[in-house]
Amino acid sequence: LAAIGQVALRGGMLDNLIELTAEQLIQRQPPVIRKELSKFSTVRKIELIKEALTLDMPECSHAIAEFFSEIGTARSERNEIVHRTWRTTDTDEVKALVRVKHNEPEELVRRVTAESMIALANRLLDLAIELGDWKMTANNANLRRSAKAPGMPTPVWPLNPPRKSAKDIARRSTTD
């Protein structure tokens, strides 16, 4: 039960940061657009954030896509743990998560252990922290762009994304 609680709490932390980040992006829009964007589901808000970060840092587009893919996977795993029906298995350490439908046999979704759930909880927390890092990197990218205005000195601080993708590095080496 403690492991389930950790998954729920840390998943909630990630979802709250997603909501706050989306709200920050939405506030930049005119009122009519803000009203519509605020109605987006969490999944659509994640897409909004992903697109905004990619626009701010196109040179990191693959790393951003990989990061948001991980968010999707972790949130899906969290939803299975929190919202599926639990069944016992041959051992006390392993539990089965099943999908139950009317007039159909139960379908095994996955097997979990306390250790696998704590690993997911830790991954959810890491992703929340990384989302904050991506926000800071985007702010840095915007500052660099504004500092490149005519008559301004070239900025000396580097753009340091929280992760790199081999695909982004390969693309840069072919365009340099």
124 in Cβ contact with 15 (< 8 Å): no
Q: Determine whether 103 is exposed, middle or buried from the number of CB atoms within 10 Å of its CB (0-12, 13-18, 19+).
A: exposed
Question: 174: pLDDT confidence band, cut at 50, 70 and 90?
Answer: low
Q: What is the pLDDT of residue 143?
A: 78
pLDDT, greater one: 157 or 100: 100
| 92 confidence band (pLDDT: 50, 70, 90) | confident
* Average confidence score pLDDT of the chain: 89
Beta bridge partners of 111: 96
d(CA 102, CA 78): 24
The number of CA neighbours under 13 Å toward the Cβ of 135 is 17
pTM of the model: 0.84
Mean pLDDT, rounded, for 115-138: 95
pLDDT value at residue 41: 94
Q: Which helix (H) or strand (E) holds 82?
A: helix 61-83
Number of H helices, E strands in the chain: 6, 3
Please give the Cα distance from 176 to 172 (Å, whole number): 6
7 to 45, 53, 68, 115, 141: CA distances (angstroms): 21, 26, 18, 11, 33
User: Residue range 77-103: average pLDDT?
Assistant: 91
**Residues 144, 155 contacting (CB under 8 angstroms):** yes
pLDDT value, residue 147:
63
pLDDT over 60 at 96, yes or no: yes
Question: Which pLDDT belongs to residue 107?
Answer: 92
